[in-house]
Amino acid sequence: MHFFISKYPKAIPFQNDFFAGVFKKMKRNIIRGNNSAQLFLSLGTFTMSTPL
């Protein structure tokens, strides 16, 4: 995850709000204690929606 972000730093700035929203949602899911399948799903959605 960190590797991915550091590998494509230029893709981040113009989508900052979107990323912040995704991370916030993921963090909320973790705090809520959702199972790892849902976490994996949101992680997959995050990586798929990131432009390469």
What are the structural domain ranges in the chain?
A: 17-52
Is the separation of the CB atoms in 44 and 27 below 8 Å?
A: no
pTM: 0.30
Residue 1 confidence (pLDDT) above 50: no
Question: pLDDT tens for residues 6-51?
Answer: 555 555 555 667 777 777 877 776 666 556 666 667 777 766 666 5
Which pLDDT value is given to residue 50? 60
More confident call, 50 vs 52: 50
Rounded to 5°, angle at Cα 19 from 39 and 28:
40
Which pLDDT value is given to residue 10? 57
Which pLDDT value is given to residue 37? 65
Q: Residue 6 and residue 39: Cα distance in Å, rounded? A: 21
How many alpha carbons lie under 13 Å from residue 28 in its C-beta half-sphere?
A: 6
